[in-house]
Amino acid sequence: MSKIKGKDTQPEVKLRKELWKLGFRYRKNLKTLPGSPDIVLFKHKVIVFIDGEFWHGYNWDEKKLKIKSNRDFWIPKIERNIQRDKEISKILTNRGWNVIRIWELEIKKDIENVIGSIINLTNNSSMK
């Protein structure tokens, strides 16, 4: 587990490069906000979290049935991660941030759609 990166993963870097090309300026892994968001667009009050499928419970109801080893450890751990993600999103939303959570898989398969979702959020935040 020590080899697992918590920041600057390939999908994060790929998304940041695309946002930078489009003229978005951001802060990354900001520790002063709950959850240390992966990307923070201050100008637009938008926070982006890029979640790994295993760690954050993508398709969890199916996946948890497939965990064979050390189930007593992994299932509560991942369920707590899912719960914490919801709590952090709620806290940030209550503070006036627009929060978007993106699966790494979405960035790998359809980055244009992901960029579109972020642009929609930035457009909506500038109208407020």
Report how many domains make up the chain: 1
Domain region containing 67: 10-52+60-114
- pLDDT 10s per residue in the chain (128 long)? 555 666 778 999 999 999 999 999 999 999 999 999 999 999 999 999 999 998 899 999 989 899 899 999 999 999 999 999 999 999 999 999 999 999 999 999 999 999 999 999 888 765 55
Q: Could you tell me the CATH number of the domain that includes residue 41?
A: 3.40.960.10
Residue 124 lies in a domain: no
Q: pTM score > 0.75 for this model?
A: yes
Nearest to 39 by CA among 55, 51, 53, 57: 51
In a domain, 38, yes or no: yes
Give the residue from 124, 96, 118 showing the smallest Cα distance to 26: 118
Q: In this structure, is residue 3 part of a structural domain?
A: no
